[in-house]
Structure 1
Amino acid sequence: MVAVDDAREGGASRPVRLEEAVGVLTAARQVVLLAHVNPDADALGSALALGLALHRRGTEVQVSFGAPERPAESLRDLDVDGLVVTADEVVAAPELLVVLDTGSVDRLGPLADRAATAGSTLVIDHHVSNSGFGTHYYVDPRAEATAVMVLHLLDAMEAPVDLPTARCLYAGLVTDTRNFRAASPDTHAMAARLLVAGVDAEAVTRPLLDTHPFSWLAMLSAVLATARLEAGEARGLGLVHALVEREHVDLGRQEEVESVIDVLRTTAEAEVAVVLKQVGERRWTANMRSKGGIDVAAAASALGGGGHRVASGFTLDGDAPAILDRVRRALADAPLLG
């Protein structure tokens, strides 16, 4: 495990390695663990797995995120000890704030101020675009998921990886590796270890990847009707994009809205898939996916977002056509991946 170099002149942030991160975690008596807004299984699963270990050490623990008010339905049964609290319940000035799977402080939404009010802040993340905020940051872009890093932390803490903890970590692995299609041999070995701990792979995976209400079909039909293929964009490798308008965002479960990108990315003629989701009158969030030919993290960073080289996102205000024009320009300047 490595920490990124601190390239911020005069900044208070500094990178830490595994052992120092463990020291920061185990020294605190009160810890708030935050995932990014609209947390996925890697963000929330990682926060809960680490929260469980600290809670069992006697630490006062809260786990939360800025929005929505409750976790996605498919993630709720991961919280076996009731550690998740609403954003309004998060203590105003925690002794230690731990931010997981979050590339920049703005991704904390209404809880972003806790990074300033906390006694200290430890960022644990695997996004190459991580801005290195907080007083300490432990970042490893080589890790396929933040859950990978949390398992290393638990081992260094000599914390038991029991079934509830293993389920949280397995959920993170299965989602961020696209059901292990983008997992290294070491990560497959981690998954095997979690299965030995008692994880039922089918029971964990089905609600995350393979279960939708019937209403999803109508939503998907409406969204896919907006899909457009632009074969000459994305440096000539092809771009496919679609819009999820406000009515579908408001009425659908988070899981259904987020799953659209996984359908769109199957387009054979497009290297890059982009889904714009309307979350305000003129505000749009975007999911970007690459098949490995273009660095979409660089494109997302140019648009104020970030993420992985093959999976990233951003939020912008404006009209959808104008935002798509900016996406085309950012992709035209994005580096090709080897």
Structure 2
Amino acid sequence: MTTTRNTADFETAVAALTAARSVTVLCHVQPDADTIGSGLALALVLRRRGVSVRVSFAEPAELPVTMRSLPGASLLVGPADVPERADLVVAVDCGSAGRLGALRDRMAGAPETLVIDHHQSNTRFGTINLIDATAVSTTSVLADLLDAWGEQIDAEVAHCLYAGLVTDTGLFRWVRPGTHELAERLLATGIDGAEIARVLLDTHPFGWLRMLARVLSTARLVPDAHDGIGLVYALVRLEDMAEVGAEEVESVVDIVRTTSEAGIAAVFKQSRLDADRWMVSLRSRDSGPGAADGVDVSEVATGLGGGGHRFAAGYTAYGAEAEIVAALVAALG
């Protein structure tokens, strides 16, 4: 399902936000800078308006190190401190309620729920759904919402919005008309774009290098997958994660996807909470050698219980390594 900007959706979202006196903002599990940046940007605006607001995500237990310097981080609370009732619950950058993990039950504790997202596969699980599948990031959708609301984007809010924009566009490799215009607008508030990008994308502990050495040794190429487009995959096991955080684990797919002989990449990441549970990241390319020639990995992910974008998606798998790899190969055909 593909949706585009709808003025009525923005007006409905603005009305709900304006009326609410208590708001819970929920980010997805294993949070990235787009979901956290969106959540904190919205929370900063709500706090400025005198609204009682909390931001949270279900897992892992702590915010990734590279995001702790984002403005508004003090508004984050642990799952146990998320109230069961609120005037409005807002889910940001979540394609489905399942992406909220253990906090999905908070959606039932509000008379209205607002979903702000840019995933093509979004299931529209809110009472109000502000979905723009043409947007490059959820923070860019939120920027439009703040404009429709008449709320100022100051430096703190811009910092959060830029964090999601720079990461979800892969340092502006994947852009659309208007992306650079938004970036320029955010930078004009005085934020340091280069430093934000460095902290979020170019900062890792030394243990990351040791993890990569182990994980990349598991990489395998399936050249005949999907009619010869090819699949490359790697496994991140529990023992590989001892020295690193979730953001280091998430970064692996961006290395694996550079393989020229495969148009589709996958990284299987073993859950720290359940050894039989694996989070799977999928990527595909739209041009160049080994290109996926129209392969929509969000369709593959949706068929396996997940979702995402055409060229970046994910899902959760359960079972032994050989079983989950075989299931993906079969789904690709």
Please tell me the TM-score bracket, short chain as reference: over 0.9
Matched, 1:313 2:294: no
Alignment counterpart, residue 40 of structure 2, candidates 33, 48, 53: 48
> What is the 5 A alignment of 1:239-258?
239-258=231-250
| Whole-angstrom distance in 2 between the partners of 1:150 and 1:99 | 12
Matched, 1:26 2:27: no
Matched, 1:207 2:207: no
In the alignment of these two chains, the number of paired residues is 322
Shift of 1:250: 4.8
Shift of 1:235: 2.7
Q: Retained in 2: the 8 A contact 1:3–1:137? A: no
* Corresponding letter in the other structure for 2:139: A
- Structure 1's 302 and 223: CA in aligned 2 closer, same or farther, altered over 3 A? same
Partner of 1:287: 281
What are the superposed Cα offsets for residues 159-188 of structure 1, whole Å, 9 maximum, x if unpaired?
111111111000100111111111113011
Partner of 2:303: 302
Partner of 1:12: none
| Whole-angstrom distance in 2 between the partners of 1:187 and 1:155 | 16
Partner of 1:322: 323
TM-score (norm 2): 0.94
* Corresponding letter in the other structure for 2:311: V
Q: Retained in 2: the 8 A contact 1:154–1:160? A: yes
Q: SS at the partner of 2:143? A: helix
What are the superposed Cα offsets for residues 108-143 of structure 1, whole Å, 9 maximum, x if unpaired?
111010112222111111101111112111111001
Let me know the Cα RMSD of the aligned residues: 1.6
* Corresponding letter in the other structure for 2:150: E
Shift of 1:249: 3.2
Partner of 1:225: 217
Q: Retained in 2: the 8 A contact 1:42–1:171? A: yes
* Corresponding letter in the other structure for 1:317: Y
Shift of 1:248: 2.1
* Corresponding letter in the other structure for 1:282: D
Q: SS at the partner of 1:288? A: strand
| Whole-angstrom distance in 1 between the partners of 2:263 and 2:234 | 15
What are the superposed Cα offsets for residues 67-125 of structure 1, whole Å, 9 maximum, x if unpaired?
11221110111133621111110001121000000011111111010112222111111
| Whole-angstrom distance in 2 between the partners of 1:54 and 1:331 | 44
* Corresponding letter in the other structure for 1:32: T
Q: Give the share of equivalent positions with the same residue, in percent.
A: 48
| Whole-angstrom distance in 2 between the partners of 1:28 and 1:78 | 25
* Corresponding letter in the other structure for 1:315: T
* Corresponding letter in the other structure for 2:81: E
Matched, 1:59 2:51: yes
Q: Retained in 1: the 8 A contact 2:71–2:159? A: no
What are the superposed Cα offsets for residues 219-265 of structure 1, whole Å, 9 maximum, x if unpaired?
00000000001111133111000000012235421111000001001
Partner of 1:192: 184
| Whole-angstrom distance in 2 between the partners of 1:152 and 1:134 | 19
Q: Retained in 1: the 8 A contact 2:211–2:241? A: no
Q: Which runs of 5+ in 2 are unaligned?
A: 287-291
Matched, 1:167 2:168: no
TM-score (norm 1): 0.92
| Whole-angstrom distance in 2 between the partners of 1:329 and 1:163 | 48
Shift of 1:4: 6.9
Q: Retained in 2: the 8 A contact 1:275–1:287? A: yes
Q: SS at the partner of 1:229? A: strand
Q: SS at the partner of 2:214? A: helix
* Corresponding letter in the other structure for 2:281: N
What are the superposed Cα offsets for residues 36-94 of structure 1, whole Å, 9 maximum, x if unpaired?
01110000001111111111011111011111122111011113362111111000112
Q: SS at the partner of 1:184? A: coil
Matched, 1:278 2:270: yes
Q: SS at the partner of 1:316? A: strand
Q: SS at the partner of 1:17? A: helix
Q: Retained in 2: the 8 A contact 1:52–1:81? A: no
> What is the 5 A alignment of 1:67-82?
67-80=59-72, 82=74
Q: SS at the partner of 2:160? A: helix
Partner of 2:289: none
